[in-house]
Amino acid sequence: MGSTTRDQSIILYFGDQTEKNIPFEELFEYSRESDRTKQFLQNAFHSIQLVIETLTEPERSKYKFDSFEEASKRLAVDSSPDVVLRTIVLCAAQLGYLIAILEKDPELREVWAAQKTLIVASCAGQLPAAIAACSHTIDELVDLAPETVAIAFRIGMDVDRRTASLGDDRSQSWAKAVFGVSAPDAQKMVDKFLIREGIDAKKGVYVAATSAWASTVVGPPPVLNLFFSRDPFNGARQVDLPITAIFHASHLDRPDTTAIIGTNPVFQGFSLRNPNFFSCSSGLPFHPQSLPALIEEAILNITHRMTDNEKMFREVQSGIEDQLVCIKPIVGESGGERLKKVLVASDAYVESASLLA
């Protein structure tokens, strides 16, 4: 792994659910030599089992699994990945990978512990990123991470239930990225479509995310397909995303964040001290606040607010000017490469690390 120097900006980048490379096999292998990683995986699995016990019998049967390895393998072979399993596996992989690279790189660990790294995260990555932003030692991270995975499970359940109220077809994508279209332009076409077709906004399509390259339109497949059959963007390139649920749904009721966070007191006493963690919704750094408050913000950014990576990347760029920038993906290689393209004036590079090197 490359060395970390103090004369550069270091960005920890946490990816979203479109990331394809989730290195769980590597993480399992590394846990054989890392007591902390092994402890985290065991405790996180136990936390999830406690959540599963609170579910109805059909839900318990659906989400029962014997290990993270089994869950990740199920996702790998599923053409329509379950939103709950996908959410917890991504969260667990990101937290486990973070623990591992901090163990392996003492210079990175020192900078991170002082909250001097920049922390950038898209969508579901905001939750584990909040934990990374508020902890100062690996042992603190290991203590906080298991309950964080349980929160990810409850986020997934909330999203899944909301999605089920709109439709039961999970065999098709619920999200399409449209390239070269801004969020305001996409929203105009969505509004026109809903009015013309007489579709209730809560049951229709909506703009969930945007970046410098594309905007993402989400909705139940029948409505989504009808919308795009009208060619609203004059032949602009479209890509189906591996998402079968409704994230960033500001047009729906606010989720019960208190129930999602739960009552475990483990997060009390931790806080964000420096404004070094960026909101994927406003694009701005979060102001210093308690970890429970920051977790609530992360939940709302994942479930209830549009993601604006263009704003977030632009804000990151404005804060680092022309410095050398090292982007370390935390299960976020694709997003890290996109961020690198934005930071062209800052001599940015992406440094991925193998846990087994």
pLDDT < 70 positions in the chain: 1-7, 345
Handedness of CA 145, 150, 156, 162 (dihedral sign): negative
CA 143 vs CA 114, 136, 188, 263: distances in Å: 18, 12, 46, 15
Residue 16, both tokens: 């979203």
At the fourth CATH level, the homologous superfamily of domain 9-164+255-350 is: Malonyl-Coenzyme A Acyl Carrier Protein, domain 2 (3.40.366.10)
What fold, for 175-240? Alpha-Beta Plaits (3.30.70)
At 133 the pLDDT is: 98
Three-state DSSP state, 2: coil
CA 120 to chain centre: 10
At 1 the pLDDT is: 47
CA–CA distance, 39 with 271 (Å, rounded to integer) = 24
At 7 the pLDDT is: 66
Domain map (residue ranges) of the chain: 9-164+255-350, 175-240
At 3 the pLDDT is: 47
